[in-house]
Amino acid sequence: MKILHTSDWHVGKVLKGQSRADEHKQVLAGVIEIARDERPDLVIVAGDLYDTAAPSPEATRLVTRALTALRRTGADVVAIGGNHDNGQALDALRPWAEAAGITLRGGVRENPAEHVIEGTTRDGERWQLAALPFLSQRYAVRAVEMYELTAAEATQTYADHLGRVLTRLTEGFTEPDRVHLVTAHVTVVGATTGGGERDAHTVLGYAVPATVFPGNAHYVALGHLHRSQRVIGPCPIRYSGSPLAVDFGEQENVASVTLVEVTAQTAAQVREVPVPAAVPLRTVRGTLAQLAELTPPEGWLRVFVREQPRAGLREEVQELLPRALEIRIDPELVPAPGSGTRVAQRAGRSPRELFADYLDSRGHDDDGVRELFDELFEEVDR
């Protein structure tokens, strides 16, 4: 069978105030075109379809149309919820999805059988997929209790709970003539972040070892980390990465989907297929004079300015580089905390003096900013 694995679409993403709806249309059209060319038997979308738990109607239309178009290629389509998605809202779309022949699993259900999807390819290859949406710390405990596994003890870790749930979902991986698959939205120890993930859900408390996945799985399709990569483990494990760089920290990532060819008797053969790029993200740096001489690269820009902070600096850079979305003082020019000539002491000092000390500590020598602070302070102190 042939599988197209994608994840982390983050539809509805706004980058520094800039909507990326047109870019998402272009990128998802590219994913759909790959599916038409490759004719996979199964498409797996491993979470984070949306960038926010309250997506706009426009974002919802784009996701539902993309899933429908993928289904129309003749592939079975399975999509799970990620940490950015609202699992309950995704599950509310299940009647529509089922009518369209699409399998949606937004959150963990009480019946574990609902998370085990079965199918047969055009050529008669039988497959079974354990689909586990993102689980928060709290819901991991609830899932363990719902599935009547061993008692959830307070001292057990998130990895313990997730391992028990996966063991329950994959206990039917016993038939030798069936392809066994897993999809989940999770951080695996040893994998590399892409640069734009939500930190709260990638820290070590949420990381699980690769050994939570069964050794008899033919392929594990992961979402959550935005960089396409293989993970060393007891079976073939892979992140497809995001087909679009969601933040400047991901500007070097290669946008792609993962194609997998596998049978019940043969190992998975994996290849990456590039997705036509959206507007690229670039970082430039320099003084105002250097930026003025720069031929602006294509794409949205992050600018590190090699100038001392002052009022109006952002506007000057924006005039030179209209596509600059993020403008910051070059980190190399920012003094280390505590390196100022004076250390502010609160006792007995006025707000004006404290603010002046703060500006000095940051290398921000601008009388205009001090005067503006004085005006604002006088207004609120009346």
Lowest mean pLDDT segment, chosen from 174-183, 240-249, 268-277, 370-379: 370-379
Predicted pLDDT of residue 151: 47
- How many CB atoms are closer than 10 A to CB 69? 17
**How many whole angstroms separate alpha carbon 301 and alpha carbon 322?**
9
Q: At residue 233, what is the residue type? A: G
Structure tokens at 371: 């005067």
Q: pLDDT-derived band of residue 94, with 50, 70 and 90 as boundaries?
A: very high
Higher pLDDT, 249 or 82: 82
H or E segment to which residue 294 belongs: none
- Percent of residues, the chain, with pLDDT higher than 70: 86
**Cβ–Cβ under 8 Å, residues 185 and 134:** yes
* Mean of per-residue pLDDT scores for the chain: 87
Structure tokens at 164: 């028990």
- Map tokens 């491993």 to a residue: 46
Lowest mean pLDDT segment, chosen from 56-65, 156-165, 294-303, 340-349: 340-349
**How many whole angstroms separate alpha carbon 286 and alpha carbon 291?**
6
Q: What is the domain count for the chain?
A: 3
Question: Which domain does 369 fall in, by range?
Answer: 342-381
CATH number of the domain enclosing 211: 3.60.21.10
Q: Within this chain, do residues 127 and 263 fall inside the same structural domain, yes or no? A: yes
Q: Within this chain, do residues 291 and 190 fall inside the same structural domain, yes or no? A: no
Q: At residue 330, what is the residue type? A: D
pLDDT at 344 over 70: no
pLDDT at 233 over 80: yes
pLDDT at 267 over 80: yes
**Cβ–Cβ under 8 Å, residues 212 and 164:** no
pLDDT at 288 over 80: yes
Q: Within this chain, do residues 172 and 310 fall inside the same structural domain, yes or no? A: no
pLDDT at 265 over 70: yes
Q: Within this chain, do residues 15 and 110 fall inside the same structural domain, yes or no? A: yes
Predicted pLDDT of residue 223: 96
**How many whole angstroms separate alpha carbon 228 and alpha carbon 256?**
7
- Average pLDDT of the segment spanning 90-97: 94
Output the CA angle 357-359-360, nearest 5 degrees.
65
Exposure string over 180-202, b if 16+ CB within 10 A, otherwise e: bbbbbbbbbeebeebbbbeeebb
Q: What is the pLDDT of residues 177-226, one digit of tens each?
A: 999 999 999 999 888 876 655 554 445 567 899 999 999 999 999 999 99
Q: Within this chain, do residues 318 and 369 fall inside the same structural domain, yes or no? A: no
Q: Within this chain, do residues 10 and 124 fall inside the same structural domain, yes or no? A: yes
Q: pLDDT-derived band of residue 145, with 50, 70 and 90 as boundaries?
A: low
In the chain the beta strands, taken as DSSP E runs, fall at 2-6, 14-15, 18-19, 42-45, 76-80, 102-105, 116-120, 126-132, 178-185, 187-188, 207-208, 219-223, 229-231, 237-239, 256-261, 269-274, 281-286, 300-305, 324-329
Predicted pLDDT of residue 301: 94
Q: Within this chain, do residues 199 and 316 fall inside the same structural domain, yes or no? A: no
H helices, E strands: number in the chain: 10, 19
- Map tokens 């006792």 to a residue: 347
**Cβ–Cβ under 8 Å, residues 6 and 46:** yes
pLDDT at 354 over 60: yes
pLDDT at 335 over 80: no
Q: Within this chain, do residues 196 and 329 fall inside the same structural domain, yes or no? A: no
Q: Within this chain, do residues 42 and 172 fall inside the same structural domain, yes or no? A: yes
Q: Within this chain, do residues 15 and 44 fall inside the same structural domain, yes or no? A: yes
Out of 256, 274, 292, pick the residue that ends a domain.
Answer: 274
Q: Within this chain, do residues 6 and 136 fall inside the same structural domain, yes or no? A: yes
**How many whole angstroms separate alpha carbon 342 and alpha carbon 224?**
45
Q: pLDDT-derived band of residue 357, with 50, 70 and 90 as boundaries?
A: confident
Lowest mean pLDDT segment, chosen from 1-10, 83-92, 276-285, 345-354: 345-354
Q: Within this chain, do residues 115 and 12 fall inside the same structural domain, yes or no? A: yes
Per DSSP, the residues of 198-223 read -GGGTSGGGEE-GGGS-TT-SEEEEE
Q: What is the pLDDT of residues 28-82, one digit of tens each?
A: 999 999 999 999 999 999 999 999 999 999 999 999 999 999 999 999 999 999 9
Predicted pLDDT of residue 143: 58
Out of 245, 274, 303, pick the residue that ends a domain.
Answer: 274
